[in-house]
Structure 1
Amino acid sequence: MLLPQEIIRRKRDGHSLSEREIGAFVAGLTGGSVSEAQAAAFAMAVLFRDMSRNETILLTLAMRDSGSVLKWDGIGRPVADKHSTGGVGDNVSLMLAPIAAACGLAVPMISGRGLGHTGGTLDKLQSIPGYDIAPDPLRFAQVVGDVGCAIVGQTADLAPADRRLYAIRDVTATVESVPLITASILSKKLAAGLQTLLMDVKVGTGAFMQDINEARILARSLVEVATGAGVPTVALITDMNEPLADAAGNAVEVMNCVDFLKCGKAGSRLETLVLAEVAEMLVQSGLVETVAAGESMARTALSSGRALETFGRMVHALGGPADFCDRPETYLPKAPVMAEVPAPADGYLAACDARAIGLAVVDMGGGRRQVSDAVDHRVGFSDMLALGSAVTKGQSIARVHATSRDEADIATKAVLSSYRIDAGPPALSPVVVERIA
């Protein structure tokens, strides 16, 4: 019998773990014989000592096989998905899944909760009354088949080892490990039975990877491990030096999603990225030959209202209100206090510490400090101006949604300290920095 502490010791001392050792530790995570302290120690050992590509593949496959693997025989659509490594105001998945489904893809999207300063898709969707993030496998398959997409969390049957390790990583400062990120993401995606995968690897002040070279390392790891496991994968490295949407939080980002599906947020960085990612998925799946054709198809799905209709059908099929898209403001929870954040000077918004924005949301209760923490879906920021915006002193650059006046004042100060205002317009980074295949 392999003892968990011996496996931890070997990794701590810099040794490569065998398939048997990795399999035994993952089985212990699943079965409960590995304690939370041991799981945290293992994660920290991997963070400091790293894993080889082969170890990462073995960890990914072991975590995938810790539960059931979905099959999509006879669904009649290409099965595809996208995953982001996490950012601030990154609600792309909420719009991408229904747009891609409206274009003819099947999107069984298994998402996660917030990690560290980044928001989680599941936390956002739980702002919607009745929305079931953990349907049984049969209902999940039915929704994907009938609607074309379903955004849910891991059930007890899907990669249960990852579900346990994921929660521990969030509160033990081990989120940034490339092998653990790779295995966590891909074990869920491989368990979903995908045919193709698109990875969105964030880089910048609001990302776990703040250096472009680190982002490239992670992107290549994801592409190589997933492709090596039989799922062709492309990665886009995308800019996260400011919140992606003009909202950061949970309910506020769901409201932002509905607004996007209704009017497209034309010309925004969010629109650029959503359409680019749907286009990549359509090319990967063989529904179009070029990214330009894919983007055109995505725009049509958006402008015709089909994507909004698909989102509404998905919400209702998973237990939410049938008329949610018609009246989202009546269903989404609202913070009791709202406050404007006034620009301290004339000029241009030139730089942003997006991580600080994400941490401000956590401080207000919109994220977790410990696994057991409840999330307040009401709090966050909306109406945030993009970098490059010209502002005058006193003009609102964001709106705070808080539980009290004191919390609003603290959050206002956090936003003001996160932005820099310059006299002239800044040079802006493109939202899609690089493509890795």
Structure 2
Amino acid sequence: MNVRAARRTWWNLAAVTIMGALALVPAQPAAAQTGAMIQPVDGVVTGVLANRCGSTDSDHYGVDIAANSGKAIGAAYPGTVTFAGWTSGGGNSVTVSHSAGYTTRYLHMVQAPSVGAGQTVGQGQLLGYVGSTGNSTGPHLHFEIRRNNAVQDLSPAYGCGGTVTKGAPINLPFADLPAAGAVTERFAFVNTAGVLHVKDGAYTPWQPVNAGGATKTALGGNWIGWIQSGDFYAKDGVYGGWLTMAGGGQVRDIAISGNRFAFVNTAGVAYVKDGPYAAWQAINSGGATRIELDGDWIGVIQGGSFLAKQGIYGGWLTMAGGGQVRDIAISGERFAFVNAAGILSAKDGAYTSWRAVNAGGASRVVLAGNWIGWIQSGDFYVKAGLYADWVALATGGQVRDVAVNGQDWFGFIGSGSFHAKQGLYTSWLTMAGGGQVSDIAVGG
């Protein structure tokens, strides 16, 4: 893709005065915090400064990251929005000012930015969505970093055709810029009034994100999703604006993984899309009751069988048939299901053999990182991999839902309260008490 972006006229319209020629300044200070900034979006590199990956453009001051229209763009570092609006060259654009003289710029968003000038933003916070507005020939993010208005040399961290992952550290040293301490742990719960509460970090205050009516929540990447009155809503981060992903009052299950969204309607038709503004794709003809996403894998329970496919357009695999499947989970290349007898089976790899990890009685399974967790007779058990010993985390027969994440966080609902802890042998924290918790999720 040869994308034309970030012309000099853009800077005039953005009220940025550039005196003389802009010299490229390598980001190689003596005392630097490597990786303090994070990647703002997922995608493929199609231009790095003057190198347009097939042509040369001396007026190009950043990196172009090609991505599907509608992909979420996050702030590379905490700061203050100094410009948010339209320019003829950059289209819908945002400029964020950071400490130590740094600024970052994000161009060509599909619609007006999600933030306004003067607003303080956190690392990873939603700024807008990938588009092709302004001087552009295809959907992509033009991203640049400056310090004291001098363009920073991004070429050590980006190469033509390379892929970048949203939220990953940018492998450059940043002078005088401390690590931002990006949140890796997100917690959510729905109470009996249907109010969804979310927070980033175990010891921060809860933030309500709706007024009531929610029945289920899901976390994936920076996205928060929930079912409310049969509709699917989502928001990019705790403070992002909410989007109606699917209306009509027909949604019965949802899932989110990264920038992929899925839901099952009351007819059992499963829909999936990549990006909040992409079109939904129906992936079956009906009969599904549950959907799971992780990485590129999509799994459903349909007719009591566990079906999975790799990618929206991949072919279906019957992971477990016989009409006996009651719950499923996917994490990376690990798959798990619970059958009607409560036997939990798991395997690593789509084509490997299943291994039973209990003798029966399970009702729910969750996977994250290397962890396998399940509810059995109202108790919460986990094991670190297929062949590890299992550990009883919460006993007493009161556990009604569980959650696990890759940062060794474990959560459960017991007697209507939300309890969580990090690590097998630490003490439980009461995240939300009062006996009113009806659904939980742990992300990160």
Q: TM-score, normalised by structure 2?
A: 0.29
Superposition TM-score, scaled by structure 1 size: 0.29
The structure carrying a bigger strand percent of its residues is 2
**Structure showing greater Rg:** 2
Task: Work out which structure has the larger RCO, using CA pairs closer than 8 Å and 6 or more positions apart in sequence.
Answer: 1
Higher share of residues assigned helix: 1
